[in-house]
């Protein structure tokens, strides 16, 4: 059994597909918690420059996020020189902080603890606004960009949102910190789902984008989920197939879902 199958739920499948979130359910654990937490701590120690990055202007939001996570979980603060390092050692979620430099400007990525990037480099995206960040994404249309920007303007303190996205990867590797993955591996197929949350911090007014990653073998899907995934893959256009891993992976996935 997998936890989320967003392609099979019409409310989540459409973009942006955000839903209200009970603040009590901001963070999520599961059967994968111990394994992911051990991997996070290892990455924070051995790949620190890759998984943690921050602009000085984000100092206030970082501390506010750290305090919020500690309060929410009731955990004692772990030993780490950076608030985001502390956060990364406490919970499974990765977090991006997005802040506006001036009213009406697009939100920018000002800091992140990102142990489990899905094929992107934090260093390449830090400091950039949302539309630029999504530059390589074929289905991030101008219309979607406008909706996402409005959504960011509208996130209210105490009323977080969530959405989910999915990709098929030929690996169960959680830490994929590069956009140059496309020719990379050729292993067993996995479904990777990100449960993404959007929460406004009251003091700094930053928006916290949380990413909780689930990876399961394609074989864990129920028949109905596998059928729905075939239906979702069917209408993808060539540039989307390319972006999502190429024609070979696309064909192999459809074959595996038969
Ligand atoms: C409602 C809000 C958002 C929507 C609808 C959205 C949509 C998407 C879509 C459709 C993709 C393509 C891959 C996929 O389907 O998973 C994508 C990729 C990505 N998104 Fe978002 N996104 C949102 C928010 C964010 C935020 C807040 C960040 C902050 C860092 C972000 C960072 C990225 C990055 C880095 C990629 C990979 C881009 C690349 O390949 O270089 N997204 N997003």
Backbone angles phi, psi at 92, to 5 degrees: -75, -25
Q: Using a 6 Å cutoff on CB, does residue 181 contact ligand 1?
A: no
Q: Mean of the pLDDT values across residues 201-221? A: 98
Q: Mean of the pLDDT values across residues 174-200? A: 86
Q: Using a 6 Å cutoff on CB, does residue 114 contact ligand 1?
A: no
Mean of per-residue pLDDT scores for the chain:
96
Q: Using a 6 Å cutoff on CB, does residue 17 contact ligand 1?
A: no
Q: Are 51 and 43 in contact (CB under 8 A)?
A: yes
For the record, the structure tokens of 35 come out as 């394994």
Q: Whose CA is nearest to atom 19 of ligand 1?
A: 134
pLDDT at 185: 64
Residue 1 has pLDDT above 90, yes or no: no
Mutate which of 137, 149, 179 for ligand 1? The one with the most ligand atoms within 8 Å of its CB, which is 137
Which of the four pLDDT bands, split at 50, 70 and 90, describes residue 182?
A: low
Residue matched to tokens 């996935």: 253
Query: For residues 94-132, b (16+ Cβ closer than 10 Å) or e, as one string?
Result: bbbbbbbeeeeebbbbbbbbbbbbbbbbbeebbeebbbe
Q: Mean of the pLDDT values across residues 150-171? A: 97
Q: Using a 6 Å cutoff on CB, does residue 165 contact ligand 1?
A: yes
Residue 153 has pLDDT above 60, yes or no: yes
Mutate which of 114, 134, 233 for ligand 1? The one with the most ligand atoms within 8 Å of its CB, which is 134
Q: Mean of the pLDDT values across residues 148-169? A: 97
* CB proximity list for 129: less than 8 A, separation 6 or greater: 105, 106, 107, 108
pLDDT at 6: 98
3-class SS letters over 10-33? HHHHCCCCCEECCHHHCCCCCCCH
Report domain extents, the chain.
Answer: 6-164+195-216
Q: Mean of the pLDDT values across residues 60-75? A: 98
Task: Dump the DSSP string for 178-224.
Answer: -STTTT------EEEEEEEEEEE-TTT-PEEEEEEEEEEEGGGS-HH
Strands (DSSP E) found in the chain: 19-20, 52-54, 94-99, 108-113, 161-169, 190-200, 207-217
Q: Mean of the pLDDT values across residues 66-82? A: 98
Q: Using a 6 Å cutoff on CB, does residue 159 contact ligand 1?
A: no
Q: Whose CA is nearest to atom 43 of ligand 1?
A: 134
């Amino acid at each position: 059994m997998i936890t989320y199958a967003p392609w099979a739920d019409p409310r989540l499948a459409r973009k942006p597909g955000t839903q209200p979130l009970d603040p009590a359910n901001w963070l999520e654990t599961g059967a994968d918690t111990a394994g992911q937490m051990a991997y996070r701590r290892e990455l924070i120690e051995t790949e620190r420059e890759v998984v943690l990055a921050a602009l000085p202007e984000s100092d206030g939001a970082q501390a506010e996020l750290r305090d919020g996570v500690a309060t929410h979980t009731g955990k004692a603060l772990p030993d780490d020189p950076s608030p985001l390092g502390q956060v990364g050692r406490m919970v499974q979620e990765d977090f991006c902080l997005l802040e506006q430099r001036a009213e009406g400007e697009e939100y920018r990525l000002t800091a992140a603890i990102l142990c489990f990037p899905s094929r992107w480099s934090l260093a390449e995206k830090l400091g950039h606004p949302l539309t630029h960040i999504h530059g390589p994404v074929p289905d991030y249309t101008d219309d979607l960009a406008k909706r996402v920007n409005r959504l960011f303007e509208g996130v209210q303190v105490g009323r977080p949102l969530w959405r989910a996205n999915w990709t098929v990867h030929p690996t169960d590797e959680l830490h994929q910190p590069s956009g140059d993955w496309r020719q990379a591996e050729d292993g067993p197929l996995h479904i990777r789902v990100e449960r993404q949350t959007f929460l406004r911090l009251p003091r700094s007014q930053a928006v916290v984008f949380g990413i909780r990653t689930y990876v399961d073998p394609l074989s864990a899907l129920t028949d109905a989920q596998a059928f729905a995934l075939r239906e979702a893959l069917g209408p993808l256009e060539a540039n989307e197939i390319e972006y999502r891993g190429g024609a070979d992976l696309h064909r192999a996935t459809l074959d595996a879902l038969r």
